[in-house]
A and B are shown apart, each in its own frame.
Chain A
Amino acid sequence: MTQFVLQARGLTKHYGHVVAMDNCDFDLRAGEILAVIGDNGAGKSTLIKALTGAVIPDSGEIMVNGEPVHFRSPLDARKAGIETVYQELGVAPALDITQNLYLGREQRRKGLLGTVFRKLDKSAMRQGSARQMADLGIRVQSIRQKVDTLSGGQRQAVAVARVAAWATSVVIMDEPTAALGVRETNQVLQLIERVRENGLPVVLISHNMPNVWQVADRIHIHRLGRRIAVVEPDSTTMEEAVAVMTGAKQPEALA
């Protein structure tokens, strides 16, 4: 039986007269890459924010591993093992790679040095981040490099490495490749596949259809505030999916 890691039923969110989510459902299976596609303003980001505690839905239910949860803040979602990469906002450029990976979760030394003098355990954190970067196949000259010396793709890789390091149930990425060139985009896509290989399911929001068809196991099509179809890249063409996404075709028309 398929295990669902993250689910939502009947999510609704109104902003004044705007209905950002309209009885929206969502299902993420263990170990899959689920792409979420939809027109601008379809409500994708609102859905993601609801799933990560950044927006509290007017109604509806969210479940983690089948258990209902009520996220009041992004911190609650993080405690449930859900980590998010936000577009362009992921990293602090003046800090080095290790500091970025451990930001907000710094490790202190054992004993008096840690408890009284609050001393950081820099070597443990460096080893941890070197291991994390290696596990994801991210190559950098040095783990001490400041992030502003990295290319755009490497920076995004650091942001992905951080969420992958701390996520214990789900990794969510909102348009992680929007600002990147072709080669760098491919690096990040490979990274997303690595995260899946390491056992974490990934939710990928993207406007780039070829990218989506390249990595996704399933595709959630979003339109007018709700999920109108879930398709698989093997059995649905990009043209068909885009037609459904834009309303040119009814979802029932899909095989």
Chain B
Amino acid sequence: MTKLDDAVLLEKEDRAGPWRAALSSQIAGPLAALVLAIVIFSATTDSFLNPGNLSLIAQQSVVVGTLALGQTLVILTAGIDLSNGAIMVLASVVIGNLATDGNVLGALLAGLATCLVLGLLNGVLVSQFSLPPFIVTLGVLSVLTAAARLYTDSQSYPITSEFLTALNEGPAFGGVTITYGVMLWIGLTAILGYALTQTAWGVRVYAVGDNPRAAALTGIKVKRVLLSVYLTAAVVYAFAAWQALGRTPTADPSGYATANLDSITAVVIGGTSLFGGRGGVVGTLIGALIVTVLANGLTQAGIDSLYQQVGTGVLVVIAVAVDHFVRTRQTR
């Protein structure tokens, strides 16, 4: 008897599957907020809803948005990465320095290697030594901030290579330029979204963030999953470094000083729980767009940009409150 009921129920759900999943999940709230903000700014300003401005919003979101994708992976495991901006900056000055010889591809690969080594460092300290991610990445942040300046002697490198700034170019569709950087951002979101929701690795990332002891008891190699997350995030940060060189064609050791916190903001506004196990990269993409739309829209409306910080702060608190409610809810 139960068999039949369940079978029927299951079939009905499978058809409604992807949509229901998307709408019922954490994405619904951030998406509604984004749409609302766009509608309000479109209605109240003349300049917001124009192709050039929309394209600009996407471009302005790209660096922090990409960093935030890696940050999402770490936060899903109940970790936090305060060092991601600094890793990106070090990678970009390494690229900028090495590219002065003209070997651009080699420079880019060296940037990737820089990110991987630092991701490995964070990952090993967190997984093998069971140190708290907050402290580990705070330490790495501090060391790297100094390292980037020592490495460059506090100079910045102008980027002249077209290949290195190529991500800021792109085709225009009806007046809206979609840069390769924006495409890369969306592509990375799609790939990570697939990995998180459609593969066993993804399920294990969520499980490790949700309940590491239960995950370990089911035979999941928790340390290995954690290490894989920090390494994957590092690869994403390397892409962010390339994006950054396109956005501003100088590799500046003191740039992007708040990118780490901005990426956390995007993740949280995007509906991912700081306690791990809940959320995802599509929400983070929306979260990053919300922050930029707020800044851009308020500027268009002629409102002091300090109010953008107020608005972002309010959204962060709302997101955390919603998460708290979701985690503590009990049916019956």
Question: With A118-B200, A118-B201 given, is the CB distance from A103 to B6 under 8 Å?
Answer: no
Q: Min CB distance, A2 to chain B, in Å?
A: 31
B276 and chain A: residue at smallest CB distance: A94
Contact of B331 (CB < 8 Å), options: A127, A137, A143, A151 = A151
Task: Evaluate contact between B203 and A95: CB separation under 8 angstroms.
Answer: yes
Query: A86 on the interface (CB 8 Å rule)?
Result: yes
Task: Evaluate contact between B210 and A94: CB separation under 8 angstroms.
Answer: yes
Task: Evaluate contact between B278 and A94: CB separation under 8 angstroms.
Answer: yes
Query: A90 on the interface (CB 8 Å rule)?
Result: yes
Q: Min CB distance, A103 to chain B, in Å?
A: 5
Contact of A92 (CB < 8 Å), options: B194, B211, B273, B331 = B211
Give the docked Cα–Cα distance between A166 and B7 (Å): 21
Name the A residues within 8 Å of B203 (CB-CB): 95, 99, 102-103, 106, 120
Query: A247 on the interface (CB 8 Å rule)?
Result: no
Query: A89 on the interface (CB 8 Å rule)?
Result: yes
Task: Evaluate contact between A95 and B206: CB separation under 8 angstroms.
Answer: yes
Contact of A103 (CB < 8 Å), options: B14, B194, B215, B273 = B215
Question: With A120-B203, A130-B7, A150-B331 given, is the CB distance from A90 to B198 under 8 Å?
Answer: no
Which of B49-57, B161-169, B217-225, B296-304 lies at the binding interface?
B217-225
Give the docked Cα–Cα distance between A169 and B219 (Å): 18
Give the docked Cα–Cα distance between A133 and B194 (Å): 28
Contact flags B294-332 to A (C-beta < 8 A → 1, else 0): 000000000000000000000000000000000101011
Most chain-A CB neighbours within 10 Å: which of B13, B198, B218?
Answer: B218
Give the docked Cα–Cα distance between A74 and B7 (Å): 34
A73 and chain B: residue at smallest CB distance: B219
Query: B277 on the interface (CB 8 Å rule)?
Result: yes
Contact flags B273-284 to A (C-beta < 8 A → 1, else 0): 100111000000
Query: A139 on the interface (CB 8 Å rule)?
Result: yes
Query: A243 on the interface (CB 8 Å rule)?
Result: no
A145 and chain B: residue at smallest CB distance: B331
Contact flags B183-218 to A (C-beta < 8 A → 1, else 0): 000000000001100111101101101110111011
Name the B residues within 8 Å of A149 (CB-CB): 329, 331
Name the A residues within 8 Å of B215 (CB-CB): 92, 103-104
Give the docked Cα–Cα distance between A90 and B211 (Å): 9
Name the B residues within 8 Å of A102 (CB-CB): 203
Name the interface residues of B259-283: CB closer than 8 Å to any CB of A.
273, 276-278
Contact of A119 (CB < 8 Å), options: B3, B198, B219 = B198
Task: Evaluate contact between B220 and A103: CB separation under 8 angstroms.
Answer: yes
Contact flags A130-158 to B (C-beta < 8 A → 1, else 0): 11011001010111100011110000000
Question: With A130-B6, A130-B7, A151-B331 given, is the CB distance from A93 to B210 under 8 Å?
Answer: yes
Give the docked Cα–Cα distance between A222 and B42 (Å): 74
Task: Evaluate contact between A95 and B207: CB separation under 8 angstroms.
Answer: yes
Task: Evaluate contact between A75 and B198: CB separation under 8 angstroms.
Answer: no
Query: A91 on the interface (CB 8 Å rule)?
Result: yes
Name the interface residues of A210-226: CB closer than 8 Å to any CB of B.
none
Most chain-B CB neighbours within 10 Å: which of A78, A90, A118, A141?
Answer: A118
Give the docked Cα–Cα distance between A143 and B210 (Å): 19
Contact of B218 (CB < 8 Å), options: A103, A119, A123 = A103
Task: Evaluate contact between B206 and A92: CB separation under 8 angstroms.
Answer: yes
Give the docked Cα–Cα distance between A252 and B196 (Å): 60
Query: B10 on the interface (CB 8 Å rule)?
Result: yes
Name the B residues within 8 Å of A123 (CB-CB): 14
* B interface residue numbers (CB < 8 A to A): 2-3, 6-7, 9-10, 13-14, 194-195, 198-201, 203-204, 206-207, 209-211, 213-215, 217-220, 273, 276-278, 327, 329, 331-332
28 sample A-B contacts, Cβ–Cβ < 8 Å, listed by A number: A75-B219, A86-B217, A90-B214, A92-B206, A92-B207, A93-B210, A93-B277, A94-B206, A94-B210, A95-B203, A95-B206, A95-B207, A99-B203, A103-B207, A104-B219, A108-B200, A118-B200, A120-B198, A120-B200, A127-B10, A130-B6, A130-B9, A131-B3, A131-B6, A142-B9, A143-B9, A143-B13, A148-B327
Going nearest first, the 10 A-B pairs with the smallest beta carbon separation are A94-B277, A106-B200, A104-B218, A94-B210, A134-B3, A92-B210, A104-B219, A130-B6, A118-B199, A134-B2
Knowing that A103-B215, A133-B6 touch, tell me 14 more A-B residue pairs with CB under 8 angstroms: A75-B219, A89-B211, A92-B211, A92-B215, A94-B210, A94-B211, A103-B207, A104-B215, A104-B220, A117-B194, A117-B198, A120-B198, A120-B199, A142-B9
* A interface residue numbers (CB < 8 A to B): 74-75, 78, 86, 89-95, 99, 102-106, 108, 117-120, 122-123, 126-127, 130-131, 133-134, 137, 139, 141-144, 148-151, 162
